[in-house]
Amino acid sequence: MLPQVSGRIRFGVALSELGRRSKRRSSENEGPTRADLDAFCRELSRATGLDIVAYAAPRYDRLLHRLKAGEVDLAWLSPLVALAALRADVSPVALPERGDSAWYWSALFVRADSPRCTLSGLRGAQAFWVDEGSASGYLMMRAALDAEGFDVARDFQSQTFAHSHDSVVSAVLADRNAVGATYLHLDPTGATQRAGWGGSAVTIVKRAGPIPSDVLAASSTLEASAIAALRRALCESPPPELLAAGQILFRARRFVPAAPAQLAHLRALERYLIRATSFAAR
């Protein structure tokens, strides 16, 4: 039986300016396009029996504003934007699985021959981060270190934003006294599947997470029957055409259910950010 839902459901995704105008990918636009978004909405409508239409947002902040206001019913959010959304009583619906997991980690690492292979040994080290908005390359590890009483401002000799994961890895591999943070994917046994350092020899000093790759979230105004239908279509018995459209739009191999309890690590990150903001305001 199809869910009884009143009205259209607007599904929002933040696309680049070129992506919003493009009907197909080109060398100038490697990201998803409006045509990809429209195709996914069509397949999701067929799979759920719901009337789902696309909204291509110019930026994540605009998308989040419309989601909170109930002007967008569903939105595809990055982890940190999802964190802000969860504060506004937005419900997580599904997570994309890329590779073998919908989750990844932040890893604090040194090169294999570094003497700074323990947390206490990092005092006086030179730290390299990706950038201030990177979940795996800065924020999640900062939150984890803060929870253990490690004061990065005082305990590291210096801190540098390298602006990419590759640059962080290069800086760490070039200096036995350097430490850096990057992404880490684990296989089902808990072993390293892939990481920012590729095949280089490193020592993982600390791991933090997990972090969801992205989050499909629903506005508090979306009816429960619609959310249930979306979860079923995406996670339980997705048609091949829907999976193919999801692969193109989100690079997702499949989708898995999301529940608020699964996002506890984002809540921990939120508590760190609140403390950091309060401290900076003093």
- What local confidence, expressed as pLDDT, does residue 276 receive? 46
- What local confidence, expressed as pLDDT, does residue 28 receive? 47
- What local confidence, expressed as pLDDT, does residue 80 receive? 72
- What local confidence, expressed as pLDDT, does residue 262 receive? 60
Question: Which tens digit of pLDDT belongs to each residue from 64-103?
Answer: 889 888 899 999 988 777 776 766 678 888 988 876 677 7
- What local confidence, expressed as pLDDT, does residue 27 receive? 43
Domains of the chain and any CATH numbers: 9-98+214-259 (3.40.190.10), 103-211 (3.40.190.10)
User: What three-state secondary structure class fits 50?
Assistant: coil
Residues in the chain predicted with pLDDT less than 50, given as ranges, are 1-4, 18-23, 25-29, 276-282
CB 22 within 8 A of CB 37: no
Provide the β-strand partners of residue 118: none
Q: Cα–Cα distance between 170 and 59 in angstroms, integer?
A: 31
- What local confidence, expressed as pLDDT, does residue 277 receive? 41
Would you list the DSSP string of the chain? ------S-EEEEEE--HHHHH-SS--SS--S--HHHHHHHHHHHHHHHS--EEEEEESSHHHHHHHHHTTSSSEEEE-HHHHHHHHTTTPEEEEEEEBTTBSEEEEEEEEETT-S--SSGGGTTPEEEES-TT-IIIIIHHHHHHHHTT--HHHHSSEEEE-SSHHHHHHHHHT-TTEEEEEEEEE-TTSSEEEETTTT--EEEEEEEEEEES-EEEE-TTS-HHHHHHHHIIIIIS--HHHHHHHHHHH--SEEEE--GGGGHHHHHHHHHHHHHHHHHT-
User: What three-state secondary structure class fits 217?
Assistant: strand
* Amino acid making up residue 278: S
